Amino acid sequence: MGLLVGRPVEAVMLALGALSAVLTDGALTYRLRMVSILPPQMIGVAGTFAMLWSQGTWAGPWMLPAIGVVAGVLARLGPEGSLCAMIMLMDAGLAMDLPVPGPVWRGPTLLLVGGLLVVALAVLGAVEDWDHVVEVRSFNHMIDPRRCRPAA
């Protein structure tokens, strides 16, 4: 839709917010899905905001390495922290390279809205039994590492 209306940057930000939410979604119960989707989204939004805020200031060249250090600390917390770190670095890198027009809060807000759309579909699936709309069939190696076998 964003491409049709002439707003490709906003469309990319919404789509990547939804992608971030889908990447962190797992085949869990609905309450656990919310817990697994929302924290990485919020941390990714924080990384995006920090990156956009620092552009053009003295902190600009140092922000991405600082976000990388924070991501390294988060990744040591376990699988959920690793997902948060991945989303934060992905969103910060996107914010660094993609020129988002308008105020500094627009890019992070679009990412959050894209992620919240996935959350809304997951909640709708829980309430209305629309599992076929939001069904995720993916292999998550962090949930069952025994299924990861090297190729013969």
Distances from the Cα of 72 to the Cαs of 46, 57, 64, 82, 133, in angstroms? 15, 24, 12, 8, 35
Model pLDDT, residue 147: 52
Surface-to-core class of residue 136, CB atoms within 10 Å of its CB (0-12 exposed, 13-18 middle, 19+ buried): middle
Instruction: State the residue range of the domain holding 46.
Output: 18-136
Model pLDDT, residue 66: 93
In a domain, 144, yes or no: no
Distances from the Cα of 112 to the Cαs of 18, 34, 69, 109, 137, in angstroms? 8, 14, 23, 5, 23
- pTM for this one? 0.73
In a domain, 123, yes or no: yes
In a domain, 4, yes or no: no
* Residue from 18, 14, 4 nearest 122 by CA: 18
Question: Please, what are the averages of pLDDT over each run of 10 residues along the chain (152 residues)?
Answer: 79 87 74 78 89 85 91 89 89 84 86 87 66 47 52 50
Structural domains in the chain (count): 1
In order, the DSSP letters of the chain are -TTTTT-HHHHHHHHHHHHHHHHH--SS-HHHHHHHHHHHHHHHHHHHHHHHHHTTSTTHHHHHHHHHHHHHHHHTT-HHHHHHHHHHHHHHHHHHHS---SSTTHHHHHHHHHHHHHHHHHHHHHHH--HHHH------TTT-GGG-----
In a domain, 148, yes or no: no
In a domain, 42, yes or no: yes
Model pLDDT, residue 133: 47
Model pLDDT, residue 69: 93
